[in-house]
């Protein structure tokens, strides 16, 4: 299955608002997506699971999904500071 590595750009990492925006994008895609940090992989459509990864600013995560265009858009989202006004 295709993967994308992406560096988390949000200053607070994948917590609260950035995690919610990411999960909403995953749900809107309709694709089954996983996100991995280190040796831990979770379903990307669960805000609690995503937040428990503890992915902070500058951490590298791996996204996996069957649809490469979904991966591209989700990777671009995570590479953006989602806390910026």
Residues with catalytic roles? 15
Residue pair 78/9 in contact by the 8 Å Cβ criterion = yes
């Amino acid at each position: 299955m295709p993967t994308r590595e992406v560096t988390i750009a949000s200053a607070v990492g994948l917590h609260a608002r950035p995690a919610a925006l990411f999960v909403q994008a995953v749900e809107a895609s309709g694709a089954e997506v996983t996100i991995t940090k280190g040796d831990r992989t979770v379903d990307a459509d669960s805000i609690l699971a995503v937040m428990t990864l503890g992915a902070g600013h500058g951490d590298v995560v791996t996204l996996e999904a069957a649809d490469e265009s979904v991966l591209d858009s989700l990777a671009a989202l995570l590479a953006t500071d989602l806390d910026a006004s």
